[in-house]
A = this chain, B = another copy of it.
Amino acid sequence: MSHTIRDKEKLIARVRRLKGQIEGIERALEAEKSCGEILRQLASVRGAMSGLTAEVMEGQLREHVLHAETETDRQRGGEELIEIIRTYMK
């Protein structure tokens, strides 16, 4: 991922928030919160994961396809993104 430093920092911040949410689930389990409560937290993590995944896919598209330096790089970046989409959709 050779994205700009700024994008990288943003992504790392998101991953850290995600880790915080996971720790929240750990604490909720320790505190024997209700299944319903645990599942609400899991749903919230799932949403955050999807948002993060969309952002990384968008990064791949911008960096390695739209702003590719050569036509060869662009085709390679595009094939990688297709592979990524296929894997995700399975």
Query: Which A positions have Cβ atoms within 8 angstroms of B?
Result: 1-2, 8, 11-12, 15-16, 18-19, 22-23, 25-26, 28-30, 32-40, 42-43, 45-46, 49-54, 56-66, 74-75, 78, 80-90
Task: Assess the B89–A53 pair: CB atoms within 8 A.
Answer: yes
As for how many copies of this chain the complex holds, the number is: 4
Task: Assess the A49–B53 pair: CB atoms within 8 A.
Answer: no
Question: A53 and B39 in contact (CB under 8 A), knowing A1-B33, A75-B66?
Answer: yes
Closest chain-B Cβ to A16's Cβ sits at a distance in Å of 7
CA distance A58 to B18 in the complex (A): 24
Q: Closest chain B residue to A18 by CB distance?
A: B22
Task: Assess the A46–B43 pair: CB atoms within 8 A.
Answer: no
